[in-house]
Amino acid sequence: MIPTGFSYHRPADLASAVGLLQAHGDEARVIAGGHSLIPMMKLRMADLSHLVDLQDIADLKGIEITDDTVTIGAMVTQHELIDSDALAAAIPLIREAALQIADPQVRYMGTLGGNVANGDPGNDMPGLMQCLGATYALSGPDGGREVAARSFYEAAYFTAREDEEILTRVTIPRPAGGTGYAYEKQKRKIGDYATAAAAVLIRMDGGACAEASIAMTNLADTPVWAEDAAAALVGTTVDDAARKAAIETAVAAIDPVTDNRGPVEFKQHVAGVILGRAIDRALERAS
Amino acid sequence: MSKLHVKMTINGQEVEGFAEPRTLLIHFLREELGITGPHIGCETSHCGACTVDMDGRSVKSCTLFVGQADGADITTVEGLTNADGSLGVIQEMFREHHGLQCGFCTPGMITRAHRLLQENPDPSEEDIRFGMSGNLCRCTGYQNIVKAIRASADTLNAVKEAAE
């Protein structure tokens, strides 16, 4: 369980970190909390010669909340997301989801940036950020650019981020007041990835659903933002028929594989149940 | 690969040493410094036996490179005894309530319980079970671990009240 040797770097600012990535190309990897990367290095499935630790870079920290948006630094940990009462007041869905990630020790180290940038379909934050319509800021040798979470994920571990870019911040539009929310996750035990998970936002207006967003986790090789499933709720009272239509549409949009969490049919079934629960709870909370 | 020169504060004492960058914190603590309280259980971030307190966070020292801990303030189970070397409150409560059988997971349990009680001095049973969910015990069934932590909370709160 000892990784192969590497050189350790701890740059003080973003430009130096990007410089190290430029200098060493695909021999270099950044490390945030390291709770995905270090296990992979120990198994010798991740091979690198230069490890670039981002912990000293002040630009990657902090949570900023304005009337319209929340901006979270890539190095903000899951524990800090849970611990922030201001964030829980602005977007309660984030605390609800973060509490379902891994275990306490992992949440003290695991970061939002690492979780969204890694591209592991098992990670919870990518689907959550797609549900919320977040945008990722990337910094590279040619400056910065922004990519929507909904178009960031290409395949398992493949994202729109280039090798020499670092994901620096996540910006999330604040859902309108009274928007109902839920993150439901089925897992075999604490610390496991989801068998199926669903993030749901529902805004009601005059008894009808005015706006909805649905995303599913660990049910395809990328998170699945189920646009058509959410559309099946809009304009309805979210009655049984609309709920059923949304679930059927979402289950048709996922593409799970058989693994030690169960066969495809089981995952489709669990996905439907979990999404149903998330819709019900989001609706209950909508006002 | 050249060795890293690292410095950290462990249980109130400044220490320094040289280590290959690929050295995990748990190996640095146990093999380089001889601090053998933190145990290696699974070495895969699951069991929590290697838990130490680092800058106010409970972390699994098997999933941290030594360089990441350079400059950090670390407490291990050894650092939770009283100044005279007698058992600290949480350690004493684990003894009194039989919060261990084989004892292998205990250093991680106690170190994690310490941080949990710093953050939540009056936890419910559910808070304790959720807060301890990163630590596995294969002997006790957890019942007495939960009791020991709840009793630690009562004792620590009584001490705090008496001091006020």
Q: With bands split at pLDDT 50, 70 and 90, how would you rate the model's confidence at B164? A: confident
Facing residues of B18 across strands? B5
Give DSSP secondary structure letters for B10-46: ETTEEEEEEE-TT-BHHHIIIIIS---SS--SSSSSS
Q: Which residue of B has its CA nearest to A102?
A: B134
Instruction: Give the sheet arrangement for strand A135-140, strand by strand.
Output: A63-65, A69-73, A166-173, A135-140, A143-148
Q: How far apart are CA A53 and CA B26, in angstroms?
A: 19
Same domain (yes/no): B85, B158: yes
Residue B57, phi then psi, degrees to nearest 5: -125, 140
Same domain (yes/no): B91, B51: no
Residues 6+ apart with CB under 8 A from B90: B80, B110, B113, B114, B117, B148, B149, B152
Q: Is A12 on the interface with B (CB under 8 A)?
A: no
- In order along chain A (287 residues), what is the average pLDDT of each group of 10 residues? 94 98 96 97 94 98 98 98 98 98 98 98 98 98 97 98 97 97 96 96 97 98 98 98 98 97 98 98 97
Residues B48, A106: C-beta atoms closer than 8 Å: no
Same domain (yes/no): B72, B90: no
Residues B65, A51: C-beta atoms closer than 8 Å: yes
Q: Is A103 on the interface with B (CB under 8 A)?
A: yes
Q: Domain A180-285 sits in which CATH superfamily?
A: CO dehydrogenase flavoprotein, C-terminal domain (3.30.390.50)
Of B45, B79, B113, at which residue does a domain stop? B79
> CA-CA distances (angstroms) from residue A33 to B60, B149, B160?
11, 28, 35
Best of B18, B52, B58, B135 to disrupt the A interface (most A CBs within 10 Å) is B58
Q: What is the pLDDT of residue A47?
A: 87
Q: Is A34 on the interface with B (CB under 8 A)?
A: yes
Q: Å from A166 to nearest chain B CA? A: 19
Residues A106, B60: C-beta atoms closer than 8 Å: yes
Side chain identity at A34, as an amino acid letter? G
Residues A1, B22: C-beta atoms closer than 8 Å: no
Residues B67, A10: C-beta atoms closer than 8 Å: yes
Same domain (yes/no): B86, B49: no
Name the domain count of chain B.
2
Place of tokens 């990657």: A60
Full residue range of the structural domain in which residue B11 is found: 4-79
Residues B1, A7: C-beta atoms closer than 8 Å: yes
Convert the pLDDT of each residue in A178-194 to its tens digit.
Answer: 999 999 999 999 989 99
Best of A42, A43, A105, A192 to disrupt the B interface (most B CBs within 10 Å) is A105
The CATH number given to whatever domain includes residue B23 is: 3.10.20.30
Would the pLDDT of B36 be above 80? yes
Is A152 in a helix, a strand, or coil? coil
Please, which residues 32-61 of chain B have a Cβ atom closer than 8 Å to chain A?
Answer: 43-46, 48, 51, 57-60
Side chain identity at A61, as an amino acid letter? K
Q: What residues of chain B lie within 8 A of the CB of A7, using their CB?
A: 1-2, 21
The CATH number given to whatever domain includes residue B145 is: 1.10.150.120
Q: Where in chain A is the domain with CATH 3.30.465.10?
A: 59-173
Facing residues of A216 across strands? A198, A224
Count each helix (H run) and each strand (E run) in chain B, helices first.
5, 5
Would the pLDDT of B1 be above 70? no
ipTM score here?
0.97
Q: What is the pLDDT of residue A5?
A: 96
Same domain (yes/no): B43, B58: yes
Of B63, B79, B95, at which residue does a domain stop? B79
Q: With bands split at pLDDT 50, 70 and 90, how would you rate the model's confidence at B32? A: very high
Residues A6, B22: C-beta atoms closer than 8 Å: yes
Same domain (yes/no): B67, B123: no
Same domain (yes/no): B72, B92: no
Same domain (yes/no): B105, B65: no
Same domain (yes/no): B93, B150: yes
Same domain (yes/no): B74, B90: no
Convert the pLDDT of each residue in B85-98 to its tens digit.
Answer: 999 999 999 999 99
Same domain (yes/no): B75, B19: yes
Same domain (yes/no): B8, B45: yes
Q: Which CATH class is domain A59-173?
A: alpha beta
Q: What residues of chain A lie within 8 A of the CB of B2, using their CB?
A: 7
Q: How far apart are CA A158 and CA A179, in angstroms?
A: 32
Convert the pLDDT of each residue in A215-246 to its tens digit.
Answer: 999 999 999 999 999 999 999 999 999 999 99
Q: Where in chain A is the domain with CATH 3.30.43.10?
A: 7-52
Q: Which two tokens stand for residue A139?
A: 């910094």
Q: What is the pLDDT of residue A143?
A: 96
Q: Which CATH number does the domain A7-52 belong to among 3.30.43.10, 3.40.50.300, 1.20.140.10, 2.130.10.30?
A: 3.30.43.10
Convert the pLDDT of each residue in B129-153 to its tens digit.
Answer: 999 999 999 999 999 999 999 999 9
Residues B65, A106: C-beta atoms closer than 8 Å: no
